[in-house]
């Protein structure tokens, strides 16, 4: 008798798993039909999320440029991070930004922008989001701290946007948010 009860439990468990799988598959296939209204809504929502991420990244890139202009001595430390932010901007669909003219060598940051014909951002940056070089703190450590705070805010916004994103965009947002958190750590770490 004991084996019968165990078999029934397994049968019920297997049935519920199969039923749940069928329900998920049905839910996924409903959106793929002709005129799938939900798919259009999801695409529009993803376009808005991607556009916001591109604007936020362009503002962060401008903040890097302002910090580099105010503190050329930070170039060796900031240029690799700026290059990553420029790649993130490109991944979100923002137009490439010109490399700051802080020194003769721009290192790896020149690669993704090579061949760019326009230096205008994809969309206007929010007012006050990126400081001019004169608005960057005169102390290098404070300038790095401010840049790290901007990286954290941007990473937090991307993490919050994951909830409403389609899987492909969610993976991109998560990856870029993790990179931003790493950048914030590197900016606040003392030493090189």
What does the block give as tokens for 121?
Answer: 């951002």
Instruction: State which of 34-38, 80-84, 162-166 shows the largest mean pLDDT.
Output: 80-84
Range of the domain at 167: 42-98+118-192
Closest CA relative to residue 67, chosen from 168, 148, 167: 148
Give the three-state DSSP class for 139: coil
12 within domain boundaries: no
Is 80 exceeded by the pLDDT of residue 113?
no
What is the spatial distance between Cα 38 and Cα 27, in angstroms, rounded to a whole number?
11
Could you please report the per-residue DSSP string of 8-52? Answer: HHHHHHHHHHHHHHHHHHHHHHHTTSTT-HHHHHHHHHHHHHHHH
pLDDT tens digits, residue range 89-98? 999 998 765 6
The answer to whether residue 62 sits within a structural domain is: yes
- Does residue 14 lie within any of the structural domains? no
Note the pTM of the prediction, 2 decimals.
0.64
């Amino acid at each position: 008798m004991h084996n019968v009860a165990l078999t029934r439990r397994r049968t019920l468990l297997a049935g519920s798993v199969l039923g749940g799988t069928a329900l998920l598959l049905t839910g996924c296939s409903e959106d793929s039909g002709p005129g799938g209204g939900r798919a259009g809504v999801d695409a529009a929502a993803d376009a808005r999320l991607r556009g916001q991420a591109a604007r936020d990244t362009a503002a962060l890139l401008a903040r890097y440029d302002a910090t580099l202009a105010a503190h050329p001595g930070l170039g060796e430390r900031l240029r690799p991070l700026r290059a990553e932010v420029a790649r993130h901007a490109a991944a979100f669909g923002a137009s490439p930004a010109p490399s700051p003219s802080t020194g003769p060598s721009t290192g790896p940051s020149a690669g993704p922008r090579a061949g760019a014909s326009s230096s205008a951002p994809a969309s206007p940056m929010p007012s006050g989001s990126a400081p001019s070089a004169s608005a960057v703190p005169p102390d290098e450590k404070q300038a790095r701290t401010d840049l790290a705070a901007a990286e954290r805010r941007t990473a937090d916004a991307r993490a919050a946007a994951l909830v409403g994103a389609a899987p492909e965009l969610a993976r991109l947002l998560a990856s870029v948010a993790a990179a931003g958190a790493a950048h914030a750590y590197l900016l606040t770490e003392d030493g090189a």
